[in-house]
C-alpha cells in the first residue's frame, strides 16, 4: 500500500492541507477577478481544483470516521470544517490531539462489526480496488456537482 495510504493520520493530514491550499488559491483567484478585475484565470483553475479536493476531503473524512469509529457529531464537525477557509487544518490538528487519527487502519486488523465497516474493511484490505473506488467516488460526486452548477446567491 502506498505510504500516503498506510496511515489514516498521514492521509488525513495531506488531504486537509490540500483542501486549505486550494482554498488559498481560490481566494487569491477571486481577489484578482472581483477586486483588481485583472483576470479570472485563478478562479477557473482553482475553482475546479478546489471542488475536486473538497470532495476528496469529504470522502476521506467519512472513510477515516468509519474506520476510527468517530461519533456522528465528530463526523459532521469534520465535514463542516471543509466549508470555512482553512478550518480543515484546525480540525486535523484537533483530531490528532484527541487521538482520533491512528497510525494504522483499524479495519485492517479488527473484524468489522457495523454495517458500513464491512465494505470499508474489504476496500482497505484490497488497496488497488479501494483506491479505484475512492477515485470513482470523487469523480462521480464531482460530475454531480458540475451538473448541479455553481451555488446561487
Give the residue extent of every domain in the chain: 8-148
Per-residue pLDDT, 5:
80
What CA–CA distances, in Å, run from 58 to 12, 36, 65, 131, 138?
Answer: 10, 32, 10, 15, 9
Q: Which residues of the chain have pLDDT under 50?
A: none
Q: Is 70 helix (H, G, I), strand (E, B) or coil?
A: coil
Q: What is the pLDDT of residues 40-70, one digit of tens each?
A: 999 999 999 999 999 999 999 999 999 999 9
For 15, the grid coordinates are 488531504
* Residues sharing a CB contact under 8 Å with residue 131, sequence separation 6 or more, in sequence order: 2, 5
Per-residue pLDDT, 81:
98
CB 66 within 8 A of CB 115: no
What is the phi-psi region of residue 69: left when phi exceeds 0, alpha when psi lies from -120 to 50, beta otherwise? left
Q: How does DSSP classify residue 101?
A: S
Distance CA 47, CA 23 (A): 9
Per-residue pLDDT, 11:
96
Distance CA 26, CA 14 (A): 18
Amino acid at each position: 500500500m502506498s505510504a500516503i495510504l498506510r496511515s489514516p493520520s498521514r492521509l488525513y493530514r495531506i488531504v486537509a492541507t490540500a483542501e486549505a491550499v486550494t482554498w488559498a488559491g481560490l481566494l487569491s483567484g477571486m481577489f484578482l477577478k472581483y477586486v483588481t478585475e485583472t483576470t479570472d484565470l485563478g478562479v477557473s483553475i482553482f475553482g475546479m481544483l478546489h471542488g475536486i479536493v473538497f470532495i476528496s476531503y469529504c470522502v476521506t473524512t467519512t472513510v477515516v470516521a468509519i474506520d476510527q469509529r468517530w461519533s456522528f457529531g465528530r463526523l459532521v464537525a469534520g465535514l463542516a470544517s471543509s466549508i470555512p477557509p482553512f478550518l480543515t487544518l484546525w480540525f486535523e490538528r484537533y483530531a490528532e490531539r484527541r487521538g482520533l487519527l491512528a497510525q494504522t487502519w483499524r479495519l485492517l486488523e479488527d473484524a468489522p462489526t457495523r454495517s458500513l465497516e464491512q465494505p470499508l474493511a474489504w476496500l482497505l484490505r484490497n488497496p488497488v480496488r479501494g483506491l479505484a473506488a475512492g477515485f470513482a467516488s470523487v469523480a462521480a460526486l464531482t460530475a454531480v456537482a458540475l451538473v448541479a452548477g455553481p451555488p446561487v446567491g
